[in-house]
A and B are shown apart, each in its own frame.
Chain A
Amino acid sequence: QVQLVQSGAEVKKPGASVKVSCKASGYTFTDYHIHWLRQAPGQGLEWMGWIYPNSGATRYAQKFLGRVTMTRDTSISTADMELIPLTSDDTAIYYCARVPSSAAEIDSWGQGTLVTVSS
Chain B
Amino acid sequence: DLTQPPSVSVSPGQTGTITCSGDRLGRKYVYWYQQKAGQSPQLVIYDDKKRPSGIPERFSGSNSGDKATLIIAGTQAMDESDYYCQVWDNGIAYFGSGTTVTVL
Contact = CB atoms under 8 A, between A and B. Distances in A.
Interface stretch (B8-16, B18-26, B40-48, B67-75): B40-48
Contact of B42 (A46, A109, A110): A109
A106 B43 contact: yes
B96 A106 contact: no
Contacts of A46: 95
A105 B32 CA distance: 9
Given A105-B31, A106-B31, A47 B94 contact: yes
A72 interface: no
Chain A: interface secondary structure? Answer: loop
Interface in A65-106: 95, 103-106
Interface residues of B, number: 21
B59 interface: no
Given A45-B41, A45-B84, A112-B40, A104 B92 contact: no
Interface of A: 35, 37, 44-47, 59, 61, 95, 103-107, 109-112
Given A44-B98, A106-B41, 18 more contacts: A44-B84, A44-B95, A44-B96, A45-B33, A45-B95, A47-B94, A95-B40, A104-B29, A104-B47, A104-B88, A105-B31, A105-B43, A105-B52, A106-B31, A106-B33, A109-B40, A110-B40, A112-B40
